[in-house]
Amino acid sequence: MLPRGRPRALGAATLLLLLLVVVGFFLFGRDPEYGLRAAATFDGDPNGSRNRSASGLQSLLPPKCEVSPPQLLHVAIVCAGYNSSREVITLVKSVLFYRKNPLHLHLVTDAVARNILETLFRTWMVPAVVIRFYDAGELKPVISWIPNTHYSGLYGLMKLVLPSVLPLSLARVIVLDTDVTFSSDIAELWTLFAHFSDKQVVGLVENQSDWYLGNLWKNHRPWPALGRGFNTGVILLWLDRLRQTGWEQMWTLMAKRQLLTLTATSLADQDIFNAVIKEHPELVHPLPCVWNVQLSDHTLAERCYLEAADLKVIHWNSPKKLRVKNKHAEFFRNLHLTFLGYDGKLLRRELFGCPNQLPPGAEQLQQALAQLDEEEPCFEFRQQQLTVHRVHITFLPHQPPPPRPHDVTLVAQLSMDRLQMLEALCRHWSGPMSLALYLTDAEAQQFLHFVETSPVLSARKDVAYHIVYREGPLYPVNQLRNVALAQALTPYVFLSDIDFLPAYSLYDYLRASIEQLELGSRRKAALVVPVFETLHYRFGFPNSKAELLTLLDAGSLHIFRYHEWPQGHAPTDYAHWREAQAPYHVQWAADYEPYVVVARDCPRYDPRFVGFGWNKVAHIIELDAQEYEFLVLPEAFSIHLPHAPSLDISRFRSSPTYRGCLQALKEEFHQDLSRRYGAAALKYLTALQQSQTRA
Amino acid sequence: MLPRGRPRALGAATLLLLLLVVVGFFLFGRDPEYGLRAAATFDGDPNGSRNRSASGLQSLLPPKCEVSPPQLLHVAIVCAGYNSSREVITLVKSVLFYRKNPLHLHLVTDAVARNILETLFRTWMVPAVVIRFYDAGELKPVISWIPNTHYSGLYGLMKLVLPSVLPLSLARVIVLDTDVTFSSDIAELWTLFAHFSDKQVVGLVENQSDWYLGNLWKNHRPWPALGRGFNTGVILLWLDRLRQTGWEQMWTLMAKRQLLTLTATSLADQDIFNAVIKEHPELVHPLPCVWNVQLSDHTLAERCYLEAADLKVIHWNSPKKLRVKNKHAEFFRNLHLTFLGYDGKLLRRELFGCPNQLPPGAEQLQQALAQLDEEEPCFEFRQQQLTVHRVHITFLPHQPPPPRPHDVTLVAQLSMDRLQMLEALCRHWSGPMSLALYLTDAEAQQFLHFVETSPVLSARKDVAYHIVYREGPLYPVNQLRNVALAQALTPYVFLSDIDFLPAYSLYDYLRASIEQLELGSRRKAALVVPVFETLHYRFGFPNSKAELLTLLDAGSLHIFRYHEWPQGHAPTDYAHWREAQAPYHVQWAADYEPYVVVARDCPRYDPRFVGFGWNKVAHIIELDAQEYEFLVLPEAFSIHLPHAPSLDISRFRSSPTYRGCLQALKEEFHQDLSRRYGAAALKYLTALQQSQTRA
């Protein structure tokens, strides 16, 4: 390509220059560390193939875990309420799945979301993720003057105030809506900051709908925007520059000015961002469309994704969310469902080459697990006891009960195979419930569908469902009970099991009994609810004690486990109960495991009992050791419905090792009892030894 | 950087040149299509950040779906037996998850793997994946002369003969072991072919253990290799060059020569590849270590992955597989578990911008599904009926029963909540079983663990487990039964349900009865096994008909569903049965649904019945319509154990819509009956109408 016939001097100069240009390109045109390796991808292709090497791809990404600042990526999300809290977890899962960098999540939350997410992240223990919460309540006054008709309500506007809310030391942040899903490494998005000019402060993807063109319907008057405007579901926010340019004053003035002629924002923060950008187009850095593929109702996103080599972020910005109609909806839903059902515990993986960034407690846990001996026969029990399950409290919208001094919450736990009990339980118990569900991530979604399609369940807002995510081979029954118990919000709790249906009157009767017995004062009592069982799964549930006694005499009902395990309920003294008109005292005896009503601050269940066996017995011992009186209620009853034996019961019955391990747990429990209660605990040990002699 | 003080002319020439160089760089230095976008990633970074844009990354990958050859990536895998078939599916899932290109899988299989994988891929219906099978049996003679002690046996050697087995038109292929997991797009691996020199024919990652150094133990004499040698778990094979270089002769000679001094290969094909490479190092193109991170027992892989920005492929090349001890085993296991439990149906997503590459049947299915009306009350039923479930037959190692003319297989279906029935069933039925399990991918792994840890189940090789993967809200009971029935390998089948335990003697008794009744000839008969139920889940199972009758009279046993649904079994005539000494005929009547033994070629269950209700009734009608005689066996019995009602039964009971849809299904079924059997089917319609009048 060099022009021919020029003098030699020029030719020599040319060569020199060429050299200089090439050297200069390597020296200055690229990052000294990443440029060279990347350059290797431009090797000539000896085979004439159009393929390009991918080995240099990684080198274009930000350094992973060195000490310089870019290693840590900051992400801010506004999240409020029960449904958004579920949504944000799926978003976070998708980010964690692809990420290779440490993350700092800045979560602006209301009290509900904070409560849920704090518990979740504490129990999730993902390495190299730092979480910080910001109180959305405090921000409300700053934005509540803006009339807004968007479905996200006030929270939609909070992204506007992030520059003043986030720490001053924070220069840049990625801001995400809760309804986006990643299908790529978020570090790739972070690298786009490097493309900002000096003036640009906000990176946004163009809006993929005609909304801002103002021609969607007659008299459609959107807020002003540049062309189609920009979508604020994914934002790169250059915070320190925003602060320097007087962002707060800028958007406030703009909003006030527009509100002189427009009634309210329809799209919350997005209207205001766009109005500001229309006036100051130099502020915006347009991002490639794949970073916010918008699946709104009348989306034009196809123009983006059909040509794109790869989708990076999907945005479910229709109020219909996953149910949005779209030619390729199935494709996008599958990407999203991947993370909805993804087992979050698999995201607890460390980042190689990063300094140790274990969350609180994780290191001790790792050490404790590492010390277990895999060859030990009770290894599975030890491991299960140490397992920290992810917990998602109040998975569904919930209305906490109003404060009432004698109110009582039914507390129970279940897994997927008992879902069909919930409707009947709701019919029998009209009061608040706190239920722990032991589910996989995928099952939690099935459960959600189950509740949504059940008129009975979806009508009840006083039932709180807490998901404890499955992990390990043994059923962590007492850990589940403790989660449900800890989340009960009334002064009293009825500690039940999911296979029991209480008498229809029980809720009212218990509250009346609590009041009459003056449990509200410092009286430590456990009110015993006598339990029965039926072997028929369709039977006429008795409406009164009289009806129950008739069924009992007819042999349609039995005292619960009267034949298999009489000692479990013998102390309740069913003969006495038949005739009783008033509550009566009973004494603890070995293996007693009644269903009781106690104050919410009662002792917790001993989490060492995993799988089948002795989990309630130990709790009742604990109550007795703490000098709870046992008072049997004369009109209370609850009936156990039949079900197939659980896997754990089957294992207990078939495996001597399993029984041996349970025995070891019992002994350890008694040692702990002696330590805590001294001589007073002696009677439990004696009882245990006697029962072993009998067996 | 330009030297100062030079004459102006030179300065002008310089500028011109600079321009030319830059233009030339764009015109010739890069791929015309991909160069420009990639160049954009070399923009100066105005902020001095070390970040680099990722927007150009994609452009380095092979073109996705254009017409030129590189769009389609070829992958060859050797796979034999039950366990490798499970393994390969997880590998394929990981590949599909990240891939964006159409794939052609070349599977060299034995009969077992072919049977499993053909069914699986046919029902999986993944777009843009072509599967071709090659018979490993035919290749055995070519390699069986090589003594080999590797755990993969003869199959480990088959990679050597791929150049002659794969189509001549195929120039390049990626060869994978079944025990690798991808965590990146396989197209990135394919691009490495572009780095081969003209002489290189095979791309391999260095071995990450000291095996070939020959110093692992005293008298350790490995085959020859270059340094640590290369690992053959991931191979880029340049087939046409290999063919040109006389590969077959080359490796055969090499193997023969080595076998003069060495006794056998320890690492199968890998020993031979390495021996050839030692002699011809110019043939090998070393691949970056991240493309085959080897987690063998004494792996040195840490040197690779601790420094790598990203892992691409993990290789579980220890015989301990996932149980291998390794400091970072948990991390790698989590990556692998991601795909073990990943819902394969989510991989049915299309590739955007690719020509339609739907597998056989998928297009019609899509159209049928698209024609359904979501607002129709029975939409869920229609959708469920159309659903093609992925099916993994013989999920666990299985020993087919020897051919015996009167042998009978117990056929049943179950889901996760009935796993605990399996041990008892195995104790009661000593013959072959064919069981369909309706599970999620994650549950299938739990099931595997369950069987492996059960001495009873793992001892039984005559029980075939077929996984039907869950999809949709309604239980596809008859589709499950049909899968189990189709896989029964004996001439007769006992069509049972999972909640029933047969009499201990039933297997022997049925075979004797089949022989006596001469069913082997052209006699079309259904042998009825009378069924009973107990309400106790721990009870002494009767050892004989006499014992059963005693329990029946004592009220411990009942005729199955005698109170709730008497018409289901009334025609069996239990009064007659009590006294019967010989098989007796009974006549069909409305709603009859006995448990029967029939020839394997009996009519299939009607798959339209999903969820609860009428699924067996319809099958018995079909038998009657085809003029099967019903013969009750006098000594046969089976007992139903109690369980909680299933979700589908609960929905049936609580939802009028559900019952309405079932009614519609019944009517359609009768219309079809009339169509097929004409006037002979009239009696069934009359019976239906009468029962509706009664109800």
Write the DSSP assignment of B520-565 as a string of letters: TSS--EEEEE-EEEES-SS----SSHHHHHHHHHTTSEEETTTTT-
**B46 vs A: CB within 8 A:** yes
Cα-trace Rg, chain B: 32
- Decide if A51 and B190 are in contact by the 8 Å CB cutoff: yes
Contact A307, A196 (CB under 8 A): no
What whole-number distance in Å separates Cα of residue B5 and Cα of residue A156? 61
What whole-number distance in Å separates Cα of residue B87 and Cα of residue B90? 5
User: Residue A5 pLDDT > 50, yes or no?
Assistant: no
Which residues in chain B are contacts of A43 at CB distance < 8 A?
A: 195
Mutation target for B interface from A45, A50, A101: give the one with most B CBs within 10 A: A50
- Decide if B55 and A190 are in contact by the 8 Å CB cutoff: no
Coil, helix or strand at residue A307: coil
User: Residue B276 pLDDT > 70, yes or no?
Assistant: yes
Min CA distance, A143 vs chain B (Å)?
A: 33
Higher-pLDDT residue of B118 and B561 is B118
Which residues in chain B are contacts of A537 at CB distance < 8 A?
A: 642, 644-645
**B14 vs A: CB within 8 A:** yes
- Host H or E run for residue B631: strand B629-632
Can you give the length of chain A in residues?
Answer: 695
Mutation target for B interface from A58, A303, A345: give the one with most B CBs within 10 A: A58
Q: One fold for both A73-345 and A391-694?
A: yes
Lowest-confidence range among A177-181, A319-323, A642-646, B287-291?
A642-646
**Pairing state between β A313-315 and A293-294:** parallel
- pLDDT for A394 equals 98
User: Residue B502 pLDDT > 50, yes or no?
Assistant: yes
Min CA distance, A643 vs chain B (Å)?
A: 4
Given A50, A59, A306, which is nearest B352 (Cβ)? A306
DSSP state of A265: B
User: Residue B66 pLDDT > 90, yes or no?
Assistant: no
Residue B615: name the closest of B371, B365, B381 by CA. B381
User: Residue A61 pLDDT > 60, yes or no?
Assistant: no
- pLDDT for B63 equals 55
Cβ contacts below 8 Å, chain A against chain B, sum to 270
| Tokens 């041990």 found at | B423
- pLDDT for A672 equals 94
Percentage of chain A modeled with pLDDT above 90: 65
Residue A191: name the closest of A50, A334, A38 by CA. A38
**B558 vs A: CB within 8 A:** no
Min CA distance, B681 vs chain A (Å)?
A: 35
How many Cβ atoms are within 10 Å of B553's Cβ, its own excluded?
10
What whole-number distance in Å separates Cα of residue B95 and Cα of residue B180? 10
Under 8 Å CB-to-CB from A564, ≥6 apart: which residues?
B538
Under 8 Å CB-to-CB from A240, ≥6 apart: which residues?
A168, A171, A172
Which residues in chain B are contacts of A451 at CB distance < 8 A?
A: none
What whole-number distance in Å separates Cα of residue B47 and Cα of residue B54? 16
Residue of A nearest to B337 (CA): A346
| Adjacent-strand bridge partners of A631 | A527, A585
- Decide if B41 and A53 are in contact by the 8 Å CB cutoff: no
- pLDDT for A694 equals 63
- pLDDT for A356 equals 66
Q: In this structure, what are the phi and psi dihedrals at residue A166, rounded to the nearest 5 degrees? A: -70, 155
Average pLDDT over residues A462-472: 96
Mutation target for B interface from A17, A557, A561: give the one with most B CBs within 10 A: A17
- pLDDT for B3 equals 40
User: Residue B43 pLDDT > 90, yes or no?
Assistant: no
- Which segment, A324-338, A636-650, B295-309, B615-629, is predicted with the most confidence on average? B615-629
- What tens digit of pLDDT does each residue of B70-97 get? 479 999 999 999 999 999 999 999 999 9
Residue B25 pLDDT class (50, 70, 90 cuts): very low
What whole-number distance in Å separates Cα of residue A572 and Cα of residue A524? 18
Lowest-confidence range among A324-333, A666-675, B128-137, B447-456?
A324-333
- What tens digit of pLDDT does each residue of A419-466 get? 989 999 999 999 999 999 999 999 999 999 999 989 999 999 999 999
Residue of A nearest to B43 (CA): A29
Under 8 Å CB-to-CB from B231, ≥6 apart: which residues?
B204, B205, B206, B207, B208, B270, B292, B294, B315, B317
- Decide if A423 and B198 are in contact by the 8 Å CB cutoff: no
Percentage of chain B modeled with pLDDT above 70: 88
- Decide if A538 and B343 are in contact by the 8 Å CB cutoff: no
What whole-number distance in Å separates Cα of residue B695 and Cα of residue B685? 15
Residue B433 pLDDT class (50, 70, 90 cuts): very high
- pLDDT for B644 equals 65
User: Residue A488 pLDDT > 80, yes or no?
Assistant: yes
- pLDDT for B408 equals 98
Task: Show which of residues 494-513 on chain A sit within 8 Å of chain B, judged by CB atoms.
Answer: 499
Average pLDDT over residues B613-638: 95
Cα of B78 vs its chain's centroid, Å = 16
Mutation target for B interface from A195, A198, A337: give the one with most B CBs within 10 A: A195
Alpha carbons within 13 A on the beta-carbon side of B32? 3
Given B13, B53, B450, which is nearest A195 (Cβ)? B53
Mutation target for B interface from A25, A28, A51, A654: give the one with most B CBs within 10 A: A51
- Decide if A70 and B50 are in contact by the 8 Å CB cutoff: yes
Higher-pLDDT residue of B405 and B24 is B405
User: Residue B342 pLDDT > 50, yes or no?
Assistant: yes
Task: Show which of residues 55-114 on chain A sit within 8 Å of chain B, judged by CB atoms.
Answer: 55-64, 68, 70, 100
**Pairing state between β B463-469 and A313-315:** unpaired
**B535 vs A: CB within 8 A:** yes
Which residues in chain B are contacts of A420 at CB distance < 8 A?
A: 644-647, 649-650
- Decide if A50 and B64 are in contact by the 8 Å CB cutoff: no
Which residues in chain B are contacts of A21 at CB distance < 8 A?
A: 17-18, 21
The domain limits of chain A are 12-60, 73-345, 391-694
- pLDDT for B647 equals 67
- pLDDT for A464 equals 98
Task: Name the burial class of residue A563, with classes exposed (0-12), middle (13-18) and buried (19+) by CB atoms within 10 angstroms of its CB.
Answer: exposed
- What tens digit of pLDDT does each residue of A370-415 get? 899 888 889 989 999 999 999 999 999 999 999 999 999 999 999 9
What whole-number distance in Å separates Cα of residue B241 and Cα of residue B200? 8
What whole-number distance in Å separates Cα of residue A552 and Cα of residue B689? 40
Task: Name the burial class of residue A543, with classes exposed (0-12), middle (13-18) and buried (19+) by CB atoms within 10 angstroms of its CB.
Answer: exposed
- Decide if A42 and B57 are in contact by the 8 Å CB cutoff: no
Report in angstroms the alpha-carbon separations of B353 from A331, B71, B350: 13, 12, 9
User: Residue A40 pLDDT > 50, yes or no?
Assistant: no
- Decide if B43 and A421 are in contact by the 8 Å CB cutoff: no
Residue B124 structure tokens: 């999986």
Residue B52 pLDDT class (50, 70, 90 cuts): very low
What whole-number distance in Å separates Cα of residue B536 and Cα of residue A535? 7
What whole-number distance in Å separates Cα of residue B233 and Cα of residue B104? 19
Coil, helix or strand at residue B316: coil
Which residues in chain B are contacts of A646 at CB distance < 8 A?
A: 420
Report in angstroms the alpha-carbon separations of A426 from A435, A444, A456, B423: 12, 19, 7, 35
Which residues in chain B are contacts of A307 at CB distance < 8 A?
A: 353
Given A45, A60, A642, which is nearest B535 (Cβ)? A642
**B348 vs A: CB within 8 A:** yes
Given B346, B350, B645, which is nearest A337 (Cβ)? B346
What whole-number distance in Å separates Cα of residue B636 and Cα of residue A662? 40
Task: Show which of residues 177-216 on chain A sit within 8 Å of chain B, judged by CB atoms.
Answer: 185, 187-198
- Decide if B642 and A643 are in contact by the 8 Å CB cutoff: yes
Residue A388: name the closest of A468, A484, A481, A445 by CA. A468
Report in angstroms the alpha-carbon separations of B315 from A23, A200, B159, B226, B336: 41, 46, 17, 21, 10
Question: Using CA of residue B442, residue B444, residue B450, residue B453, what is the dihedral sign?
Answer: negative
Average pLDDT over residues A200-228: 90
What whole-number distance in Å separates Cα of residue B400 and Cα of residue B382? 36
- pLDDT for B26 equals 36
Task: Show which of residues 510-529 on chain B sit within 8 Å of chain A, judged by CB atoms.
Answer: none
**Pairing state between β A557-559 and B172-176:** unpaired
Under 8 Å CB-to-CB from B409, ≥6 apart: which residues?
B401, B431, B432, B433, B434, B488, B489, B490, B492, B493, B494, B600
Alpha carbons within 13 A on the beta-carbon side of A510? 34
- Decide if A34 and B52 are in contact by the 8 Å CB cutoff: yes
First-residue to last-residue Cα distance in chain B? 97
- Decide if A56 and B60 are in contact by the 8 Å CB cutoff: yes
Percentage of chain A modeled with pLDDT above 70: 88
The mean of the pLDDT values for chain A is 87
**To 10 degrees, the CA torsion angle through B434, B437, B438, B444?**
-140
User: Residue A541 pLDDT > 90, yes or no?
Assistant: yes
Which residues in chain B are contacts of A560 at CB distance < 8 A?
A: none
Residue of A nearest to B58 (CA): A309
Cα of B128 vs its chain's centroid, Å = 18
**Pairing state between β A557-559 and A500-502:** unpaired
User: Residue A59 pLDDT > 50, yes or no?
Assistant: no
Mark residue B528 as left, alpha or beta (left: phi above 0; alpha: psi -120 to 50; beta: remaining).
beta
Contact A162, A76 (CB under 8 A): yes
Under 8 Å CB-to-CB from B672, ≥6 apart: which residues?
none
Q: Select from 1.20.120.1730, 3.90.550.10, 3.30.1330.10, 3.40.50.2300 the CATH code of A73-345.
A: 3.90.550.10
User: Residue B357 pLDDT > 50, yes or no?
Assistant: yes
Residue A669 structure tokens: 């429990």
Taking each helix axis as running N to C, give the angle between helix B379-386 and helix B362-371, from 0 to 180 degrees, rounded to the nearest 10. 180
Task: Show which of residues 629-688 on chain B sit within 8 Å of chain A, judged by CB atoms.
Answer: 641-647, 649-650, 654
- Decide if A352 and B537 are in contact by the 8 Å CB cutoff: no
Under 8 Å CB-to-CB from B141, ≥6 apart: which residues?
none
Contact A180, A316 (CB under 8 A): yes
pTM over 0.90: no
Residue of A nearest to B353 (CA): A306
Lowest-confidence range among A425-434, A435-444, B330-339, B381-390?
B330-339
- Decide if B352 and A473 are in contact by the 8 Å CB cutoff: no
| Tokens 């569904």 found at | A396
Q: CATH code for B391-694? A: 3.90.550.10
- Decide if A646 and B420 are in contact by the 8 Å CB cutoff: yes
- pLDDT for A33 equals 27
Average pLDDT over residues A193-213: 94
| Adjacent-strand bridge partners of B693 | none
- Host H or E run for residue A2: none
- Decide if B535 and A536 are in contact by the 8 Å CB cutoff: yes
